[in-house]
Every structure is written in structure tokens, then in C-alpha cells.
């Protein structure tokens, strides 16, 4: 949040950043998912033409994060599709991100 200069009241970005920070794979690849210089998501999950390689669970978390960020709808991002691909630790992460966004 500091790197992006995110406002405290910006629950949309906070929920996305919570997901990115809470999953090691996503944190390591965060620069291919969110552009802090331009303050925006990278919706194609690519950076400079390179595909960001993510597991099924990490992709599901990114879809949720993008949806919490701006309502972005992607293929197979229903709540059932997302949670089907998550293990217990990532389900907790997802539920906490939803709480950040809406509570």
C-alpha cells in the first residue's frame, strides 16, 4: 500500500493488496499483476508480453482480487468457481479479503 500510495479509505485496492501479500506466489509475481507506477491492475496477467505463470489457486485468487478491485468479470470467476480452486489457507485469505472490501 505504501509503494502504491494507497489511501486508507480505498477498500478496493486494500482487498486486492491483501490477496497479493497473503499468497507467496502472488507476492513474488505482484509486479506482473498490479502496476504501482500507473496505479492499475494488469488485466491480462502479462507484463511486457510475458505470461505470468500461476497455479489454479493463485489464478482464482487474482480473479477474486480483480473483482473486488473494480468488479472485473472474467471467465470462470463465479464465487463457486473461485472457491472450488482454493485450499483451506487460500479460502481464509479470500474470505478476509471480502471482509476488507465490504465490512
The 3-state DSSP class for residue 18 equals helix
From the CB of residue 24, how many other CB atoms can be counted at a distance below 10 Å?
A: 9
Going by the DSSP 8-state scheme, the letter that residue 52 receives in this structure is: P
The pLDDT value recorded for residue 44 is 74
How much is the pTM? 0.90
| 1-23 pLDDT per residue, tens | 889 999 989 999 999 999 999 99
Domain extents in the chain: 11-102
Contact 45, 51 (CB under 8 A): yes
The pLDDT value recorded for residue 48 is 60
The pLDDT value recorded for residue 71 is 85
Enumerate helices (H) and strands (E) in the chain, giving the number of each: 5, 4
| Mean pLDDT in residue range 17-44 | 93
| 58-92 pLDDT per residue, tens | 999 999 999 999 887 777 678 899 999 999 999 99
Amino acid at each position: 500500500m505504501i509503494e502504491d500510495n494507497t489511501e486508507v479509505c480505498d477498500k478496493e485496492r486494500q482487498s486486492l493488496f491483501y490477496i497479493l501479500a497473503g499468497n507467496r506466489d502472488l507476492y513474488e509475481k505482484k509486479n506482473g499483476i498490479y502496476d504501482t507506477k500507473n496505479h492499475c491492475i494488469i488485466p491480462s496477467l502479462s507484463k511486457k508480453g510475458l505470461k505470468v505463470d500461476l497455479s489454479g489457486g493463485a489464478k482464482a485468487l487474482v480473479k477474486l482480487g480483480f473483482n473486488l478491485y473494480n468488479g472485473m468479470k472474467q471467465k470462470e470467476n463465479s464465487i463457486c468457481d473461485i472457491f472450488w480452486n482454493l485450499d483451506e489457507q487460500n479460502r481464509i485469505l479470500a474470505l478476509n479479503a471480502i471482509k476488507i472490501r465490504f465490512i
